[in-house]
Structures are given as structure tokens and as C-alpha cells.
DNA sequence: CCCCCTCATGTTGACGATAACATCGGGGCG
DNA sequence: CGCCCCGATGTTATCGTCAACATGAGGGGG
């Protein structure tokens, strides 16, 4: 029952091959291949003999050889940003889980959005004959860097919607509006915004939407506070929030936490003096002090849709329309009515 | 200069091969191989001609073929827990960065510690002929599941030290003692502990060390509060902290944040009434309320040592002694002198 | 009763690279 | 002047699998 350590193999070192299995089962290697690939028309008895030989020998398929013969590898290449932020990381896990269910695994590589870095990452993954590519396109330039290099199906993720043809993302505009409308409805009229890393698509979309919202409602446009996603930056920005501001929209939760820390150091209370909204709904945000009102992004859904769409393309079908994933607002204690 | 779309290749679909390059450069495919692999004794002029042909054709090596011929893939298999906690995730990024510098990429798969799950993950990775394996061994049973299945070098990570022969980890015992001694030195004598997920090595080590510490100092042993790493669980445990406890040691930062939230709801203040220490030093912990005293774990170093050691083994050298990575204590505002 | 067809299986040739061995001009040396 | 060796390159076999075609034993219909 337990795989015996194969005493002698056809060749040294490399573990048993189909030939070894075939010899042991008294069939041809092609029959072994057919059993392995679930071809119809194998006599049940033969199949059983082959499976037994496989078990006896502890045989494992050599996917390199298979990839060479078929041109497919059952691996999805994933290009990620180099810094472990919440969004990309969550999406990665989601992709892994979704891919696992269809027998694929992600091969990971990180890259900045510079063409040379992206180029290297692409070369590496394509050389491994990945069947598909997920590119976390934090920056619009990425799209140019990838385009037309290959005919492997490519899907962009985290583009914040509407940036590329083939892309899956949480609708950033909708999420930002949820946050801002919530604040507006509470009576707030003086807003400031702490941004994510300048230039990154999602940061840019949240910022643009923020400005558009001010415009639409005829609200005063105070200076934008530049952040970089980190709680540190949020803290520094929090120190720079203007007097009289009652509504602070932060581009992510860690910055919101940093900002709140700074505001309280300045003697302001949240939400009595200033209401703060974050973005992402990280697991801790419900236990921040005060519990954070924030925009929830369903990265699990993003990963799932990405993998589903790629499987469609791999199998030659046209993927359905790629809808943006809808975010929702989680109202907690960091927002309240505007002070009188 | 720019790679032209190859108009006609030797065969359809698959992109140019060494033969195509060789033909274009007017040499044999073996010479191309030698150029690609930096063999000595190629006339500079020939080398240049080959490189030019490669550029012209946009040639990319087929690693599947190379893996088949050489038995090596330049891929490291990584088995991770299924849930995206801070430690494993940080380590993954660290591994990716370290691996990239030596030309390797991680192939990721998640698994629980059940033998069947681990077995599947192993089969998958080994079938891809990974050159080495990093196993995040959150649970002691993992070690049995992996052992002796293969002769691929295996390194265990996050074992909390001393659990396996080949393992890299942050010294959990030392970290726990740093936290507890800090509290003790502040005058605290009534301790409670919120654990991580029961059974996981790191949670177990922190818990065991906590109990050992109480014993050594002759302190009263109050009930252990069972957690699961989540802020939620920390909150629930925080509600259950006994009256009169002044020192709360939490097995990670999110639980510490949850617990503080609960304590404050109960009208207790941190650190005046209760001092709280976390574990991990997640980037937000400096901006929690109050800023969290916590044990810093250097996962970057863990990843680096893991990859370095694996490269040694892959290249046939014996890796040096694997020292545990030393954690350090970051003292912030959530701890203070014991109340009188 | 023979032919043809089908099911179950075997045989041969890619796939794209590396490795081991073969070749082919020179140049140094006896 | 011929031999040997070496540096530069070409030729052939091999890795483990899949795909396409070949084979061969039965079974049904004319």
C-alpha cells in the first residue's frame, strides 16, 4: 500500500517515469498516459493494474515533459507589486484558492511598474510557459508594458475599473462616492482627502472622484494631503489637516488609523470634531479606536472572477462581460453628524 | 532593435525555438545554447551574431524543455497556510524578493496541516519539479506529512524554532520572554494570555512559554483565554479578562487591538489599569490606540535565510548552522507601571 | 464464410532544450 | 614536414510526455 522506495529505476536519480509504470503494469507507456488523462475506452481491469503500479512506484507525473509536449503548464503567472499591501495580498490569496479548484497554481513574481521591471517579470513567466497571466496593474503604464508581448491570455486586476479591456476590479468611483455621500448626508461640508501613492491607479481614482464630488456639490476645495498608504503617512497627514475640517476621507484604513492618532494628539476627537472614513475594511478596522467606518472591497470576488475569466479564455471561450465588483460601505463609529 | 513579430516560425504557435535562432544566426542550435548559458570559448563575433538573432526574433527560452533536459526548474515550491495571516504573508514576500535575486521564483500553494491536504500540495509542487521546497510549518504534524516523500531539499519556516532539523524561524520563546519580562519589570504580577489558534506551533510556544514564566516567577495562574489570531477573538477574550488582571499578553497584534477595545468598553483604561502587549509589530500597531507595545519579528530576515540556505543545498553545499532569528521588543504606550 | 468495423492497446515521432561526443582548421614542436 | 593538441563549432542521443497513426482480436451483417 505504501509507496515502496523504488529499488531500481530505468535511469538514476529522477524518479520513476511512465515507462517504469508501464513495465510494472505490463502495458505500454501510452496506456499509462491514457489512464492518467482519463481517456475513455480503457478496460477497467487494465486501468486498475496501471493505478496499482503507479501507487507501488510512487510515480509522479513530470509536468515539465507534459508542458513541453502540450504547450500548457497549468500554471498562472501573477505579477504583483513589490510591497505587500492589503489589496494585492488579499487578491493573491483569492486567486490561489480559485485557481486551486481548477487545478492551477500561481507562479508569483513582483515588479514595479517600470517597463524594465515589468519586462523582466514577463520574460520570466512566459519562459515558464504559463497558461495565463494576471497582472496587478497598480499603475496605468503597466498596460503599455505588457501589451502585445505575447499571445498568452492576460487579465488585469486592481485597475480600479475601466482602465483596460480585460480587467477585473472593485469599482473605485462607486466606493469613493459611498464614503463621501455618507459624510455629506451627515451634514459635513468641509472635506479633506489623504491620498495613496501618487500615480497608482486606485489612488488616482479615489482622488479624482473626491475632487469631482466637491465640484458637484459646490464644496470648498482644501489642499489634498499626499499619503503613501502607510499608517505613518496617515499620521503625518493627520497633523496637517486644516482647522475647521469635519470630514476626512482616507484612501485606506491604515492611513485612517494614523490620521486619527494624529487628530487626537491635536486634541480633536473622532467623530465628534472630525469624522473619518477609510477604505479597504481590513480585519482590524472594526477594533480601531474608534471603530472605523470604511469602504469594503471584496477581493475574494475579484480573484474568483479573474480566474474564472481566464479559464474561459484558456478553454477557447470568450469570457462574459467583466463587471466591476461593487464595494459597500461599513458604517462604524468613526463617523457621525457634523458638529453644529 | 525592437523585436519584430516573427513572420514565420519553424512550427506554428509556439514562438521561436533555438533552431530558429540558430538558423538566423547561421550557427548550430548548440552554439545558441552555449551563448545562452555563458559557456567560455565562443568567439565574440559569433556570440554577438547569436544575441542579435535572439533580439530580432524575440526569442525566449523554453524552461519546460530546459527543465526536462536538466532536471532543474529554478522554481521554489512554497506551501503556505490557507489563511492570509501577517507572518506567512510577510515571509512569502521576503522569500520572493530573496529568490528573485538568485533567479528563482516561488510557486505557491496553500494547504492545511492535514496529511491529505499537505500530500496534494506536495504532489503538485513535486510534479512541477521544483528545485526546493519551503514549507510554512504552522503545525507540528506537517513535519511528518512531508518527511521522506522526496529528495528535494526542504526547509521549514515559522516552526518557532527547534522543531525540525532544517528550519528557520523567529525565536518564539525569546520573544515571549521579552514581552513578559518587560511587564514583570514594570511591577505587574497578575497576568493573562490570549492564545493564537490552538495547536499551531507558534501559538503553542507562546502559550507554553507564558505558563513556564508564571511558574518560574511563582505567579498566579489564571485561565488561559483561547483566541484564533483575529481581532474579533481578541475582543471576545478581552471581555473575559479577569478582574484584577493588570498585564495582558496577546499572541498577536490584531488580538491585542480587539482586546483593548473590549477593555475600554468595560471602563478599563490601557495602560493605566491594564498593560497590553502584542506580537508581530504589524505596521499599524504604532498607531493603534494606545500605540501598541509588541514583539517585533523580522520576517524579511527569515525569508532571506531560508532562500540562502536552500541555495546552498541546491548547489551541493551543506548550509551553515541555522540560527533562530532574534525578535525584539518595541515599547510603546500600551504598557506602563502596574497600578498601585 | 468473409469482410469490415470497432474497441483496446501498441509504436513512432514530435516538443525544445542539454550533454556527450565528433569534427575541423591551425599552430607549436620534435 | 608531419604529429598532436586545442579552440571553436557541429552532430546525435536523451529527458518524459502526448498525439497521430498502426495493429490485432473479435463480432455482426451480407
A96 closest CB neighbour out of B110, B235, B291: B110
Q: Which of residues 29-48 of B touch A (CB under 8 A)?
A: none
Do B197 and B247 have their domain in common?
A: yes
How many angstroms separate the CA atoms of A322 and A309, rounded? 8
Report the SS3 class of residue A313: helix
Write down the pLDDT at residue B159.
80
The reply to whether B147 touches chain A by the CB within 8 Å rule is no
In a domain, A87, yes or no: yes
**Cβ-Cβ contacts under 8 Å for A96 (sequence gap 6 or more):** A105, A106, A303, B108, B109, B110
Report the SS3 class of residue B75: strand
In a domain, B331, yes or no: no
How many angstroms separate the CA atoms of B156 and B137, rounded? 6
How many angstroms separate the CA atoms of A20 and A13, rounded? 13
In a domain, B191, yes or no: yes
Do A183 and A43 have their domain in common?
A: no
Report the SS3 class of residue A220: coil
In a domain, B328, yes or no: no
Start-to-end C-alpha separation, chain A = 77
Write down the pLDDT at residue A165.
75
With 0-12 / 13-18 / 19 or more C-beta atoms within 10 angstroms meaning exposed / middle / buried, residue A103 is exposed
Report the SS3 class of residue A242: coil
A287 closest CB neighbour out of B82, B109, B231: B231
Give residue for cell 523582466: A120
B110/A97 Cβ within 8 A:
yes
In a domain, A136, yes or no: yes
Name the residue among A243, A237, A250, A239 with its Cα closest to residue A279. A250
Which CATH number do you get for residue A80?
3.40.50.2300
Write down the pLDDT at residue A281.
97
The answer to whether the beta carbon of residue B30 comes closer than 7 angstroms to any atom of strand C is yes
Do A101 and A127 have their domain in common?
A: yes
Residues of B in contact with A288 (CB under 8 A): 257, 288-289
The per-residue pLDDT string of chain B (340 residues; one tens digit each, 9 = 90 and over) reads: 334 433 333 334 578 999 999 999 999 999 999 999 999 889 999 999 999 999 999 999 999 999 999 988 999 999 999 999 999 999 999 999 999 999 999 999 999 888 888 888 998 999 998 999 999 988 888 877 776 567 789 999 988 765 567 889 999 999 999 999 999 999 999 999 999 999 999 999 999 999 999 999 999 999 999 999 999 999 999 999 999 999 999 999 999 999 999 999 999 999 999 999 999 999 999 999 999 999 999 999 999 999 999 999 888 888 878 889 999 999 999 999 999 8
Write down the pLDDT at residue A139.
86
Which nucleotide is at minimal CA–C1' distance from A69? C15
With 0-12 / 13-18 / 19 or more C-beta atoms within 10 angstroms meaning exposed / middle / buried, residue A18 is buried
Q: What is the pLDDT of residues B302-325, one digit of tens each?
A: 999 999 999 998 888 888 788 899
Do A277 and A304 have their domain in common?
A: no
Which CATH number do you get for residue A41?
1.10.260.40
Do A150 and A180 have their domain in common?
A: no
Write down the pLDDT at residue B196.
97
Q: Which of residues 66-85 of A touch B (CB under 8 A)?
A: 67-68, 71, 73, 75, 82, 84
Do A47 and A185 have their domain in common?
A: no
Do B215 and B163 have their domain in common?
A: no
Query: In the numeric block, which cell numbers belong to residue B206?
Result: 507562546
Report the SS3 class of residue B231: helix
Do A125 and A161 have their domain in common?
A: yes
With 0-12 / 13-18 / 19 or more C-beta atoms within 10 angstroms meaning exposed / middle / buried, residue A302 is buried
Strand partners, A215: none
A107 closest CB neighbour out of B65, B107, B257: B107
Do B145 and B38 have their domain in common?
A: no
Window 245-284 of chain B: CB closer than 7 A to strand C? none
Nucleotides of D under 7 A from a protein CB: 7-12, 14-20
Do A278 and A304 have their domain in common?
A: no
Widest pairwise Cα distance in chain B: 88
Distance from CA of B216 to the nearest CA of A (A): 34
In a domain, A268, yes or no: yes
Give residue B110's domain range: 72-168+299-315
Å separating the CA of residue B39 from the C1' of nucleotide C20: 15
Do A57 and A76 have their domain in common?
A: no
How many angstroms separate the CA atoms of A123 and A247, rounded? 46
B108/A63 Cβ within 8 A:
no
Write down the pLDDT at residue A161.
65
The per-residue pLDDT string of chain A (340 residues; one tens digit each, 9 = 90 and over) reads: 334 433 333 334 578 999 999 999 999 999 999 999 999 889 999 999 999 999 999 999 999 999 999 989 999 999 999 999 999 999 999 999 999 999 999 999 999 888 888 888 998 999 998 999 999 988 888 877 776 567 789 999 987 765 567 889 999 999 999 999 999 999 999 999 999 999 999 999 999 999 999 999 999 999 999 999 999 999 999 999 999 999 999 999 999 999 999 999 999 999 999 999 999 999 999 999 999 999 999 999 999 999 999 999 888 888 878 889 999 999 999 999 999 8
**Does a cis peptide bond (omega within 30 degrees of 0) precede residue B94?**
no
Counted domains in chain A: 3
Write down the pLDDT at residue B158.
83
Start-end of H helices in A195-230: 201-217
Name the residue among A165, A173, A107 with its Cα closest to residue A137. A165
CB atoms < 10 A from the CB of A242, how many?
Answer: 11
In a domain, A10, yes or no: no
Å separating the CA of residue A69 from the C1' of nucleotide C14: 8
How many angstroms separate the CA atoms of B63 and A128, rounded? 5
Do A245 and A276 have their domain in common?
A: yes
Residues of B in contact with A258 (CB under 8 A): 284, 287
Name the residue among A210, A193, A207, A180 with its Cα closest to residue A259. A193
In a domain, B97, yes or no: yes
With 0-12 / 13-18 / 19 or more C-beta atoms within 10 angstroms meaning exposed / middle / buried, residue B69 is exposed
Give residue for cell 538568485: B102
Window 142-181 of chain A: CB closer than 7 A to strand D? none
Write down the pLDDT at residue A164.
62
Window 9-28 of chain B: CB closer than 7 A to strand D? 26-28
Å separating the CA of residue A73 from the C1' of nucleotide C7: 31
The dihedrals phi and psi of B130, each to the nearest 5 degrees, come to -65, 150
The answer to whether the beta carbon of residue B5 comes closer than 7 angstroms to any atom of strand D is no
Name the residue among A173, A91, A235, A176 with its Cα closest to residue B287. A235
The reply to whether A106 touches chain B by the CB within 8 Å rule is yes
Closest residue in chain B to residue A77, using alpha carbons only? B107
Q: How do the residues of chain A divide into helix, strand and coil, expressed in percent and rounded to 5?
A: 45, 15, 45
Residues of B in contact with A127 (CB under 8 A): 60-63
Amino acid at each position: 500500500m505504501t509507496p515502496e522506495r523504488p529499488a531500481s529505476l530505468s535511469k538514476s536519480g529522477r524518479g520513476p517515469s511512465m515507462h517504469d509504470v508501464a513495465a510494472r503494469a505490463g502495458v505500454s507507456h501510452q496506456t499509462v498516459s491514457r489512464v492518467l488523462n482519463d481517456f475513455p475506452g480503457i478496460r477497467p481491469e487494465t486501468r486498475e493494474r496501471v493505478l496499482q503500479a503507479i501507487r507501488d512506484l510512487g510515480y509522479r507525473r513530470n509536468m515539465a515533459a507534459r508542458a513541453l509536449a502540450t504547450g500548457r503548464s497549468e500554471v498562472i503567472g501573477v505579477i504583483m507589486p513589490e510591497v505587500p499591501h492589503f489589496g494585492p495580498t488579499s487578491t493573491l490569496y483569492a486567486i490561489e484558492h480559485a485557481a486551486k479548484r481548477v487545478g492551477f497554481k500561481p507562479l508569483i513574481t513582483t515588479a514595479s511598474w517600470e517597463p524594465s521591471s515589468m519586462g523582466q517579470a514577463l520574460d520570466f513567466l512566459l519562459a515558464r510557459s504559463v497558461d495565463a497571466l494576471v497582472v496587478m496593474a497598480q499603475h496605468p503604464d503597466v498596460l503599455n508594458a505588457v501589451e502585445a508581448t505575447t499571445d498568452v491570455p492576460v487579465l488585469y486586476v486592481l485597475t480600479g475599473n475601466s482602465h483596460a479591456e480585460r480587467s477585473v476590479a472593485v469599482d473605485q468611483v462607486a466606493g469613493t462616492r459611498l464614503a463621501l455621500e455618507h459624510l455629506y448626508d451627515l451634514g459635513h461640508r468641509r472635506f479633506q482627502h489623504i491620498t495613496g501613492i501618487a500615480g497608482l491607479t486606485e489612488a488616482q481614482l479615489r482622488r479624482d472622484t473626491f475632487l469631482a464630488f466637491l465640484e458637484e456639490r459646490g464644496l470648498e476645495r482644501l489642499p489634498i494631503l499626499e499619503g503613501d498608504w502607510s499608517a505613518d503617512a496617515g499620521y503625518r497627514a493627520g497633523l496637517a489637516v486644516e482647522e475647521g475640517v469635519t470630514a476626512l476621507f482616507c484612501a485606506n484604513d491604515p492611513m485612517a488609523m494614523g490620521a486619527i492618532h494624529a487628530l487626537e494628539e491635536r486634541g480633536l476627537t473622532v467623530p465628534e470634531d472630525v469624522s473619518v472614513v477609510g477604505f479597504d475594511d481590513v480585519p482590524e478596522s472594526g477594533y480601531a479606536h474608534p471603530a472605523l467606518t470604511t469602504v469594503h472591497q471584496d477581493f475574494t470576488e475579484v480573484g474568483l472572477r479573474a480566474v474564472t475569466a481566464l479559464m474561459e479564455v484558456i478553454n477557447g471561450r470568450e469570457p462574459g462581460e467583466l463587471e466591476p465588483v461593487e464595494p459597500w460601505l461599513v458604517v462604524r463609529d468613526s463617523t457621525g453628524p457634523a458638529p453644529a
